[in-house]
Amino acid sequence: MDAPPPLHIAMFPWFAMGHLTPYLHLSNKLALRGHKISFFIPKNTLNKLQYLNLYPNLITFFPITVPHVNGLPLDAETTSDVPFSLVPLIATAMDQTEKDIEILLKEIKPQIVFFDFQYWLPKLTKNLDIKSLQYIILTPVSTAYLGCLQKLSLGKDLTDVDIMKPPSGFPDSCIKFYKHELRFLASTRKIAFGSGVFLFDRLHIGTTSADAVGFKGCNEVDGPYADYIETVFGKPVLLSGPVLPEPTNTTLEEKWISWLKGFENGSVVFCAYGSEGPLEKNQFLELLLGLELTGFPFLAALKPPIGFESIEEALPEGFNERIKGKGIVYGSWIQQQLILEHPSVGCFITHCGAASITEGLVNTCQLVLLPRLGSDHIMNARVMSSKFKVGVEVEKGDEDGLFTKESVCKAAKIVMDDENEIGREVRANHAKMRNFLLSNNLESSCVDSFCQKLYHLF
């Protein structure tokens, strides 16, 4: 039987580097199998991602002019160009590209479009006789819990009491919430994100309207959640595999090589708290003081706390002098993947974004889970700490959600202590998960299965 002809796939991710990059990683996996990719990207951002295109003969970039919206800096295109408070205006600007996208789709005629936050896209593609797939760069657990809960509630506004109880048939018992998390998750239903639309609705309308839904993940880890979503929403759910970045020729900056090589293997704590959403000052200080309290050398990549322009002005008095030679607080972008690969790094304190979790799992450093307030971060932390037991979550106050320097120190010491019983269990489970994720045929078989299911949409 002849192999089916390659597909022509258009990629239209949300205008954030944390979405554009994994979409391009997936594009490389699909191009390797002969599929043609048309990648829609803000025009001034193109140069930042060009080097990741491993198949320029099959992956073509289509620069998108992002309209200016009142309140945005001139030439702002992605979330990395603006402070967190202005991110909803990037969504407004993206929505204003709809007519241009329609013209482009009519011109290039793809068979299917992958999207995430563009809730209006499925209606547009349906009118053009093009399939749509909402490809969510997260693991499916958040959609399985909150998306299915909303779907089954038939449009009712969900309260914290509603969210406390998993939706009927949810395939897991490990998801438990703090009281402050329940309040937050209920409030996010009404966070405006662009003109006339709430953040949750952007995703939920897309999930409801698309021809299919896709996630990062594999059946062995995420299958029960994917199957549940498929049942509740009544449409195909495709898992692309972990979509690990391909090795590049990029090397770690010399300043980090020089600093890290001064410490024993597995002795450094690396803390990276995401590129968006800074901490309040009190939590910023507790995190740094907790790192100091461990007694381990540490490298913390953090944004300045809310209300501060720089890291330096927010540091505790005398802190730099106390940590000199054994600690660094760094306020700019850092080569996280390469830092995690360095043998001196023994512990990774993460905000629990899906990409960071994966990068931590495929390396030998141990995970300390400190989720930000975001549904996917919270659920990733619970699944990794309670279900798979591959990391230790930092304790927080039930009502206020605050962590302390002592709770940060405690979690780091557990995973770094060879004699600690919990630490031993976590390290053993992490090693098993790492071996599984890096097994030779896992990702290849996942992407092959993903492609086969794409053909079934036609």
CATH code of 154's domain: 3.40.50.2000
Q: What is the pLDDT of residues 91-137, one digit of tens each?
A: 999 999 999 999 999 999 999 999 999 999 999 999 999 999 999 98
| 301 shares a domain with 175 | no
| 142 shares a domain with 130 | yes
| 325 shares a domain with 229 | no
Q: What percent of the chain has pLDDT over 70?
A: 98
Q: What is the pLDDT of residues 17-48, one digit of tens each?
A: 889 988 999 999 999 999 999 999 999 999 88
**Mean pLDDT throughout 399-423?**
95
State the pairing for strand pair 212-215/298-301.
unpaired
* pLDDT for residue 1: 59
Split at pLDDT 50, 70, 90, the class of 276 is low
**Mean pLDDT throughout 425-448?**
92
| 429 shares a domain with 297 | yes
Instruction: Give the full edge-to-edge strand order of the sheet including 268-272.
Output: 327-330, 298-301, 268-272, 345-350, 366-369, 391-393
**Mean pLDDT throughout 240-244?**
88
pLDDT at 290 over 80: yes
- Asked, for residue 242, whether it belongs to a domain, the answer is yes
- Pick the range with the lowest mean pLDDT from 264-278, 343-357, 403-417: 264-278
* pLDDT for residue 7: 97
227 is catalytic: no
| 222 shares a domain with 309 | no
- Asked, for residue 1, whether it belongs to a domain, the answer is no
pLDDT at 215 over 70: yes
* pLDDT for residue 274: 65
| 379 shares a domain with 302 | yes
| 318 shares a domain with 196 | no
- Count how many domains the chain has: 2
- The H or E element that residue 350 is part of is strand 345-350
Length of the chain: 458
pLDDT at 174 over 90: no
Q: What is the pLDDT of residues 379-390, one digit of tens each?
A: 999 999 999 999
172 is catalytic: no
Q: What is the pLDDT of residues 326-364, one digit of tens each?
A: 999 998 878 888 999 999 999 999 999 888 898 999 999
| 276 shares a domain with 186 | no
**Mean pLDDT throughout 191-204?**
85
In 3D, which of 346, 433, 424 has the Cα closest to residue 387?
433
- Asked, for residue 153, whether it belongs to a domain, the answer is yes
- Pick the range with the lowest mean pLDDT from 242-246, 255-259, 453-457: 242-246
Parent domain of 397: 254-437
Q: What would the DSSP string read from start to end of 412-455?
A: HHHHH-TT-HHHHHHHHHHHHHHHHHT-TTHHHHHHHHHHHHHH
- Asked, for residue 3, whether it belongs to a domain, the answer is no
- Pick the range with the lowest mean pLDDT from 38-42, 183-187, 231-235, 282-286: 183-187
| 325 shares a domain with 283 | yes
3-state secondary structure of 362: coil
pLDDT at 373 over 80: no
Task: Please give the residue that has the higher pLDDT: either 376 or 386.
Answer: 386
pLDDT at 286 over 90: yes
Chain Cα centroid distance, residue 344: 25
**Mean pLDDT throughout 317-333?**
90
| 219 shares a domain with 268 | no
- Asked, for residue 130, whether it belongs to a domain, the answer is yes
| 183 shares a domain with 92 | yes
For the chain, give the mean pLDDT. Answer: 91
- Asked, for residue 324, whether it belongs to a domain, the answer is yes
- Asked, for residue 318, whether it belongs to a domain, the answer is yes
- Asked, for residue 344, whether it belongs to a domain, the answer is yes
User: Which position among 81, 95, 116, 201 bears the catalytic label?
Assistant: 116
Burial of residue 255 (CB within 10 Å: 0-12, 13-18, 19+) is: exposed
| 201 shares a domain with 304 | no
User: Which position among 19, 25, 204, 377 bears the catalytic label?
Assistant: 19
Q: What is the pLDDT of residues 135-148, one digit of tens each?
A: 998 889 989 988 88
Task: Please give the residue that has the higher pLDDT: either 83 or 428.
Answer: 428
Taking the model in full, what pTM does it have?
A: 0.86
* pLDDT for residue 314: 92
Write down the H helix ranges in 175-312. Answer: 179-187, 199-209, 219-233, 254-260, 281-294
What does the DSSP 8-state code read for residue 177? -
